[in-house]
Amino acid sequence: MKGRLSSAGSVAMILRRRLAGLALLTPLLISCVVPYPITEWTYNEVPESIVRNIQPGTTDRADILLRLSEPWIRGAGDGYFVYSWLESLGGLGVVGNVVVPVPLVSATKMRCHCLVVQFGDDGRVARVTTLDATGTAWQDMYAFPCPGEQMKEAIQEWLAQSPARP
């Protein structure tokens, strides 16, 4: 009887130890896949104040370059410039491995902005617009195409709408 009790006690002790071990391991197992939020940021934004100050018929190519420097796209014969900037609207990522966190997957809502400035033959701004498009960046946010193919088409459509007049 005493032996049986002792054996039951040792089994209970083993069970308790295993449960304690499991309790210790659980956070580690859970933390093997840890979600993390991706913050919002903007890269190379063209400030609204600069866009507002671009006056068709008055502002010239030199003014634009002095304020914004190199455009992302130089149109043929410098007939237009495209300045693009990328904005992260936030997202969610997951890292694995507790000791050395390894990014497994991330999804970030991205917005690509484009400032399109069309020049007349006199070198002054003929028209100006801003276009934007949203999409999802998987993994590398900086690899998100800005402008992407659709945006490039939209830019060409806008440029073709009404030719610049000197």
Partner 1 sequence: MPAVEIVSQFLRRCAGLVFVTVLVTFVAACANSSTVEQVTHPDELKPLAFLNAGPVSRRDIEARFGVPWSVYEDGRIVIYHFDGLDEPLRRAQRSGNLHLVIVYASDDNVERWSLVHMDRQK
The DSSP 8-state label assigned to residue 69 in this structure reads -
Residue 85 CB, nearest approach to partner 1 (Å): 9
Give the SS3 label for residue 64: helix
70 binds partner 1, rule: CB under 8 A: yes
Interface pick for partner 1 out of 25, 53, 78, 92 (rule CB under 8 A): 78
Q: Of 7, 26, 31, 42, which one interacts with partner 1 (CB under 8 A)? A: 42
* Element containing residue 45 per DSSP (H, E): none
What are the distances in angstroms from CA 5 to CA 9, 13, 16, 137, 150?
6, 12, 16, 62, 76
Q: Which two tokens stand for residue 94?
A: 């997951």
Size of the site for partner 1 (CB under 8 A): 15
- What mask, x for binding partner 1 by CB under 8 A, covers residues 104 to 123? -------------------x
CA atoms of 32 and 94, how far apart (whole Å)? 10
Q: Which is nearer to partner 1, 70 or 149 (CB)?
A: 70
Q: Which is nearer to partner 1, 141 or 154 (CB)?
A: 141
- State which amino acid sits at residue 8: A
Residues that bind partner 1 (CB under 8 A): 41-45, 61-62, 65-70, 78, 123
